[in-house]
Amino acid sequence: MATITLCGYASFLFGWHVHEKAILLVIVPFSLLALKDRRYLGAFRPLAVSGHVSLFPLLFTTMEFPIKVAYTVLWLVVFLLAFDRLAPA
């Protein structure tokens, strides 16, 4: 699982054409890895938060701004509570 995560991260960092959704190639396998081992959780938190905030340009109108901010804050609260409880010590 760590190999898949590192390959996704390398393709994101060194890819020729990187767009907002490409960070999901790193976040999705890394979330499974962070749930499996708590040592990865410290590195996963800032990556997941910055990765999800980097998706903001996909919703670009002013009417969508409150929705995307509310969704991201709700996701952040659920993520912090759930991952702290589910990741083994």
| Packing angle, helices 24-36 and 65-86, rounded to 10 | 30
DSSP H/E element including 2: helix 2-14
Q: Provide the number of structural domains found in the chain.
A: 1
Encoded amino acid at 19, one letter = H
pTM attached to this predicted model: 0.75
Whole-number Å distance between alpha carbons of 4 and 79: 22
pLDDT tens per residue, the chain (89 residues)?
788 888 888 888 887 666 777 888 888 889 888 888 888 888 888 888 888 888 888 888 888 899 989 998 998 888 888 888 888 77
**Measured CA distances, 8 to 5, 15, 46, 66 (Å):** 5, 10, 17, 31
Domain of residue 34: give its range.
2-86
Q: Dig out the tokens for 12 from the structure.
A: 């994101």
